[in-house]
Structure 1
C-alpha cells in the first residue's frame, strides 16, 4: 500500500485539473485520452425512444406501435391488429425489448397499445409503471415486473386505466410510493397511480394552462423534481413553482428564467436536481439546473440556433434567483444525467431547430461534462453517430452511460434521409472509468444490508488497490431514471452520512458504517444504485432497496 499523502495529492490534482475546459467550445485533450465510446449492438430492432434501468441490471426500451414494422419479431408468433393505425394495421413486429447489460443481448417484448411519447416510473417493489401514449394507448397503464433474462416476464396492460389522455406527460415517484402523473397535451391536470378506486379522477392544475403558449405548447413533459419537504418543483415553459399536490396549491413561484426562451417540449431543454447531501447536520441545500432548449418561436421559424444557456436555481435560499451560465455548445434535445461523482453529463441532441419530425439540424455529437462545484464545462470526445429526436440515455451500475435511439421521421426511415432512423446501442465511458484511476477506485465486496431503512445504520465492505484517503470517500445512492424526450424522470442522488471506516488487517479490506436516508421525501422507497466514490473515482454500484 502506498502511504504517501503527497503522492495522492499530486495524482488527484492532475485528475481534477484535467476536468477544466481550455476555452469555450474547445475539447480538453487530456480528457479525450480518458473517455471513450463503445458500440454495443448495431441494432436492437427498435429505436430506443424510452429507457428504464431495472434493479436486476436489465433495461426496458420501447418506441411506438404506429411507426410501421420494426426489425424484430414479436415472441411466440404474436401479432397486433389495430384498424386505426395508418402505418400498418396488422403488425407482427415488436416495439419493446429487454436489454441485458451483462450479456449484451436483448429479447423482444409484447406491447400492444401505442406508447408514443409516454412516461414512466418504478414502484417501490421494482415494477415499472408506464403511462399514456397515443391513440389506443393514451389512457393506458402498463406494468413490467423484472425477472431473469431467460424467463418470460412481459408487459401487462390496462388500456383505459387513466382518467385522462396522457400524451407528453411526466411521472414522479412520491414519498408514499405512489406515482404522480402530471400534464400531457392539452391536459391541465394531474392524477395518482395507483388510484384509490374506480371513481378516482384527475385534479386541476391551472399552472399548466397558464404556461401553455397555444399550438406548440412549450410546457409538455414539464420538469418535475420531488423536494425534501415533500412538495414538487415544477418547471413549464419559462416559469417554475413549488407545488403542494396534496392540497392542490402553489406554495411559491420563482422568477422566470432569464432570456424568455422556453425549455420544455418541443423546445426540449433538460433539467436535473443536484445531489441532496445528508453528510452535515445542517439544512440540505436544494438546487436545480435547466440547460439548453430552443428560442421562443423556434418550432415554427425553421432551424434557429439552439439555446446555449443554463440556469441554476437554489431553492433553499430565502430569495432564490437564477444564476445563468453558458454551455460551450448550444443544444436542444440534450439528455442531462447525474454521474456517480455528482457531475452532470449532457449528451445527444442538435445545435439548431426543435423536437419534432424533421425539425432539427446540426447534431451535437460531443458530450459535455459539467462540474457543479467549480461551474466548469468540459467538451468530451466524439461518438460515432448523431442522436437526434427520440434518442435517450441512462446511467448504468458500472458507471457507463447507455445511449440509444434517434428517429426524426414519421416512420422508420433508414435510407435517403439526412439522419436515418437509428436502432443501435452505444455506451459512453466517462474519464473516471479509465484504467489510470484503478489504483484509487473502490470495489464493493459485500453489502451487508440489501434493504436499507430510514435513519438506520448499515455496513458495506470494500477494497481498494493501493491507498485510501478517508476524507475523500463518500457513499451515494442513485435512483435510476425513466428517460425520454430529453428528461430523466425520477433521477435522484442522495449523499449519505458516513459514520466510520475501519480496516481489516487480515484481508486488507475496509468496512464503512453509514446511515440510511433520513426521510422518504429525501429518498422515496424503492431500488437505488449504491456507489462508493473515492477522490472523484466511483466504484461499480451495488443495488439496495429502501423501505
Structure 2
C-alpha cells in the first residue's frame, strides 16, 4: 500500500458522484466544470437503433424492424429482399440492421430478412448472438450472428420457423448450462428453451403470465427476468413477482406486489436490474432486484382514449430476495420516467437514461422527453441528476455499456414509420455516447489501466491481471468486477449482470512500476453463466477500461 493518505484525500474529496465541480478561474472567481458529457458519434446510421447488443470483438449489432418502410442505408452489393407479407414495402433494397465498430466509429449494413420488430436476444457462451421472434414473418424466427472482423462479411443466419411458439415482446435469459430460455410474448403464456430439445417440442405452460395479463393492455409483456444464484429465475410481470424453477415448471416463492399498484412492464415500460452480486464476502450472496419507473395504472388507456398523457411514475422498488420475509423498499427518483433504460456501470452504480416524463410506450403515446441521465448509488441509496441533456430518446430507443466505460445510446422512433418532419419528435437515426463523471480527467490520477489479462477465467480458479496507475494506488480501494453485456430493447437490458470477484493478492513490479492482481473466478455458473464478460478494475471509485474475458 503506497501513498495511502494522499490517495484517500483524492478519493474522499472527489466529485465522482456529481456531474459538476466548482473550480477557480485563477483570479478567485468560481466557475463550474462539467464532468459528464455527451458526444455525437454519428448523425445517422441509417436505421433507428431499437435493439442493441455489444459483441466481444468490440462491435455493436443494432437493428430495428423490416416493416418501417425503406431505411436510410442500402444493403451491400446491390442486394434486395422480397417479402410478400411485409406491410410497408414488399421489395426492399435497404438494410434494417447494422454492425457498428466502436474503435473506428464506422458501420456497415447487415441483411436481416424476417421482421425483428419487438424481438429479444441473448449471447451463447461461444459469443454468437441468438435473436428470437418478432412480428409477422419473424414471429417464430430464430436468427444467429457470429462475430467476425469488421472487414469480414459475417451476417445474419436465419431459421424462419424454428421457435415452438410466436414470440413478440418476449424476454430471453442465458442459463447456467449455456442454453437460453425464451419467456412469454403477446398472448403467449408459456416458455421454451433454445436450442429446442427436439422438433416436436411446443414449449411449456407458464400460468403466471396468464394471471398477470390485464387483458387489453397486457402489462406483462417483456417480463423482467433475472437468473438467481440458486439457478432459479426471478420473474416480474405487471405488479407481481416470483422465484420460478423452470426445470420443474413450478413457482418456488411469490413476493408481495410492488406497492402503489402501478404496472411496470410493457406498455407501461418501467425497467429492472439485478444489483451486483458480491463474492468478496464470506457469506451467501444475497441477490437484490430493483424496478424503477413506468406509466401509472390506466396510463395506456388514458392516452388511447385521447384524454392526454398521465405523468410517469417516479418510484423505484428494491427487493432483497433472501430476507426471511422480503418486502419492497420504495424510493423516489428525482425525475419521473417511462421507457427509461437502466444499466449497470463499472462502479456498480446504476444509470437511468432515455424515456419520457408523461405517457406510455407506443406510437405517439408519450410527451416530455427526459433528457438528463440519473445515476443511482445503491450502497448509500442516493440519486444524482447529471448536468448534460441528451437528444430526446423516446419509444424504440436503446442503450448499452461499452468496454471503455461510455454508454452508447441510439434510436427513438415513436411513429408507425420513419418520420422526420411534421411531428413533434422526429425519428432519430443518430448515435451518441454518454461519458459518466468517472471518465472525467479529474479521475485520471487514480485510474487503473489494464496492461494484460488472462483471457480465460475458470470457476473457482485464480487468474491474473497486470495493470498500472499513473501515480497512486490504495490496495484497499481496488476491486475486480466482471460485467455481462446486455441485449437492450424496450427499456430492459436482458442478461445484464455484474459479479464483484474476490481479490486474492496485489503485487508490485518495482522494475516496471506496474502491478499484478490475482483474483478468484466466479464460484458457479449460476453466479456467472459461461460466456464473454467485460472485466474492470475499479480503484477508489474510478474504473479502468474493460478487457474481454471468457468464463468457462
Deviation at residue 384 of structure 1 after TM alignment:
3.8
Distance 2:134 2:389 in 1: 30
CA contact (8 A) 1:21 1:376 kept: no
Moved over 4 A (4+): 29-32
Deviation at residue 125 of structure 1 after TM alignment:
0.1
Distance 2:521 2:15 in 1: 29
| Alignment of 1:490 onto 2:492 | no
Distance 1:46 1:348 in 2: 18
Q: Report matched runs for 1:60-99 at 5 Å.
A: 60-99=61-100
SS of alignment partner, residue 208 of structure 1: helix
SS of alignment partner, residue 9 of structure 1: helix
Distance 1:377 1:499 in 2: 32
Deviation at residue 260 of structure 1 after TM alignment:
0.1
Q: 1:517 aligns with which of 517, 522, 529?
A: 522
Deviation at residue 200 of structure 1 after TM alignment:
1.8
SS of alignment partner, residue 85 of structure 1: coil
CA contact (8 A) 2:17 2:437 kept: no
Q: Deviations over 1:183-223 (max 9, x none)?
A: 00000000000011211221000000000001110000000
The 3 A distance-change label for structure 1 pair 21 and 507 is closer
Q: Deviations over 1:516-543 (max 9, x none)?
A: 0000000000000000000000000100
Deviation at residue 245 of structure 1 after TM alignment:
0.1
Distance 2:139 2:32 in 1: 44
Greater alpha carbon shift after TM alignment, 327-336 vs 378-387: 378-387
1:317 equivalent in structure 2: 323
Deviation at residue 84 of structure 1 after TM alignment:
2.4
1:109 equivalent in structure 2: 110
CA contact (8 A) 1:21 1:377 kept: no
Q: 1:425 aligns with which of 431, 439, 447?
A: 431
CA contact (8 A) 2:20 2:387 kept: no
Distance 2:8 2:389 in 1: 32
2:121 equivalent in structure 1: 120
Distance 1:18 1:470 in 2: 21
Deviation at residue 258 of structure 1 after TM alignment:
0.1
1:13 equivalent in structure 2: 12
Q: Deviations over 1:129-171 (max 9, x none)?
A: 0000000000000000000000000000000000000000000
SS of alignment partner, residue 438 of structure 2: helix
1:540 equivalent in structure 2: 545
CA contact (8 A) 2:16 2:437 kept: no
Greater alpha carbon shift after TM alignment, 199-208 vs 114-123: 199-208
Q: 1:526 aligns with which of 519, 531, 542?
A: 531
1:503 equivalent in structure 2: 508
SS of alignment partner, residue 143 of structure 1: strand
Distance 1:521 1:540 in 2: 26
Distance 2:32 2:147 in 1: 37
CA contact (8 A) 1:21 1:379 kept: no
CA contact (8 A) 2:372 2:390 kept: no
SS of alignment partner, residue 39 of structure 2: strand
Distance 1:505 1:384 in 2: 45
Q: Report matched runs for 1:186-201 at 5 Å.
A: 186-201=187-202
Distance 2:545 2:392 in 1: 28
| Alignment of 1:161 onto 2:167 | no
Q: Report matched runs for 1:357-368 at 5 Å.
A: 357-368=363-374
Distance 2:15 2:247 in 1: 44
CA contact (8 A) 2:20 2:33 kept: no
CA contact (8 A) 1:31 1:380 kept: no
CA contact (8 A) 2:16 2:438 kept: no
SS of alignment partner, residue 376 of structure 2: strand
The root-mean-square deviation of aligned C-alpha atoms, in Å, is 1.5
Distance 1:349 1:484 in 2: 12
SS of alignment partner, residue 420 of structure 2: coil
SS of alignment partner, residue 134 of structure 2: coil
| Alignment of 1:396 onto 2:397 | no
CA contact (8 A) 1:38 1:428 kept: yes
Greater alpha carbon shift after TM alignment, 44-53 vs 195-204: 195-204
The 3 A distance-change label for structure 1 pair 93 and 132 is same
In structure 1, list runs of 5 or more residues that go unmatched: 23-28
Distance 1:18 1:145 in 2: 38
Taking structure 1 as the reference length, what is the TM-score of the superposition? 0.97
The 3 A distance-change label for structure 1 pair 17 and 380 is closer
Deviation at residue 31 of structure 1 after TM alignment:
9.2
SS of alignment partner, residue 464 of structure 2: strand
Instruction: Report the count of equivalent residues.
Output: 539
Distance 2:162 2:471 in 1: 55
Distance 1:377 1:57 in 2: 31
Q: Deviations over 1:24-48 (max 9, x none)?
A: xxxxx99971111000000000000
Q: 2:336 aligns with which of 326, 330, 338?
A: 330
Distance 1:18 1:100 in 2: 30
Deviation at residue 11 of structure 1 after TM alignment:
1.5
Q: Deviations over 1:92-120 (max 9, x none)?
A: 00000000000000000000000000000
CA contact (8 A) 2:312 2:356 kept: yes
The 3 A distance-change label for structure 1 pair 16 and 282 is farther
CA contact (8 A) 2:341 2:355 kept: yes
CA contact (8 A) 2:3 2:474 kept: no
The 3 A distance-change label for structure 1 pair 116 and 288 is same
Q: 1:351 aligns with which of 351, 357, 377?
A: 357
Deviation at residue 13 of structure 1 after TM alignment:
1.4
Deviation at residue 18 of structure 1 after TM alignment:
4.7
